[in-house]
Amino acid sequence: MTTAQSIDADHLNLAGAGEDQYLTFILRGEEYGVDILRVQEIRGWDNVTPIPNTPSYIKGVMNLRGTIVPIVDLRERFAMEVMPYGPTTVVIVLKVRSDDRERVMGIVVDAVSDVYNIGADDLKPPPDFGEVVSVEYVQGLATVDEKMVIVLDIDHLLTSGELRGVDRSAA
């Protein structure tokens, strides 16, 4: 009872009006955030079944209590150098919306960091880097405790290119 209350109070405290909560994770030293309401669960890295003829950033599929869930390595997705998975490596299972359906997908990241609440006003649009850096998948930038958090547009990130649900070969 007390815990429930304290969580409740906590929640009220944290998610003030006009603020959203974001789960952040580390990828090559940088902190990235995703909308916490999209996070289904966080699990340790486990072996997956690779799917042939898919780009290497799609690590494969995993059995999540009877559902087949594709796992994407975010480092490889962003073409960063590959790092062997370690004890902090986790899979964040996300609910992704594409077209008009919801899909469940996992992303492999270096480590989970924290949960922040970020006001809509504090979320700045990413600066235009031109051709140098693609900010296509960045929803915005926020500063929390003097650190920069890159908030990702996971719907776009996980449903574009090879991850598109539509079968292009069917045409």
Partner 1 sequence: MSVDIAQFHQTFFEESFEGLDAMESALLGLDVGAADTETINGIFRAAHSIKGGSATFGFSAVANFTHRVETLLDQMREGSRPVTQDGLEILLQSVDVLRAMLEAVRGDGALPDAMAAEVQGRLETMLATDEGGTVESEGDPQAAPGDGWRIVFRPHQHMLQTGNDPIRIFRELAELGELNVRADTSKLPSLTALDPETCHLAWTLELRGEASEGDVREVFDWVEGDCDLAIEPLGRVEGGGGAVPVAAQAAPADKLPVQARPSAGEGGSIRVDIAKVDAIINLVGELVITQSMLGQVGESMEDSPHLDVQRFEKLRDGLAQLERNTRELQESVMQIRMLPISFAFNRFPRIVRDLSQQLGKKIELKMFGEQTELDKTVMEKIGDPLVHLVRNALDHGIEAPDDRLEVGKPETGVVELEAYHKGGNIIIEIRDDGRGLDRDKLLAKARSRGLVPDGQLPSDADIYDYVFHPGFSTADKVSDVSGRGVGMDVVRRNIKALGGNVEIHTEKGRGTTFTVRLPLTLSILDGQLVRVGDQSYVIPLVSIVESLQIRQRQVSAIAGKAEMYKLRDDYIPIVRLNEVFGDGSPYSTLEGGLMVVAEGDGNRAGFMVDDLLGQQQVVIKSLETNFRRVEGLSGATILGDGTVALILDVAGLIQRFRHGDPSSHASSGPRADQHNAAA
Cα 56 → chain centroid: 18
Task: State the DSSP string of 4-26.
Answer: HHHHHHHHHHHS-TTEEEEEEEE
Nearer to partner 1, 99 or 136 (CB): 99
Distances (CA, A) of 167 to 3, 60, 62, 162: 47, 18, 21, 10
The least distance separating partner 1 from the CB of residue 59, rounded to whole angstroms, comes to: 12
The least distance separating partner 1 from the CB of residue 124, rounded to whole angstroms, comes to: 32
User: Rounded to whole angstroms, how far apart are CA atoms 171 and 164?
Assistant: 14
The least distance separating partner 1 from the CB of residue 116, rounded to whole angstroms, comes to: 28
Q: Quick one: tokens of 87?
A: 């004890």
Nearer to partner 1, 107 or 150 (CB): 107
The least distance separating partner 1 from the CB of residue 102, rounded to whole angstroms, comes to: 9
What is the maximal distance between C-alpha atoms in the chain? 58
Nearer to partner 1, 8 or 102 (CB): 102
User: Rounded to whole angstroms, how far apart are CA atoms 2 and 11?
Assistant: 14
Nearer to partner 1, 65 or 146 (CB): 65
- Site of interaction with partner 1 (CB under 8 A): 47-54, 60-63, 66-70, 103-105, 163-167, 169-170
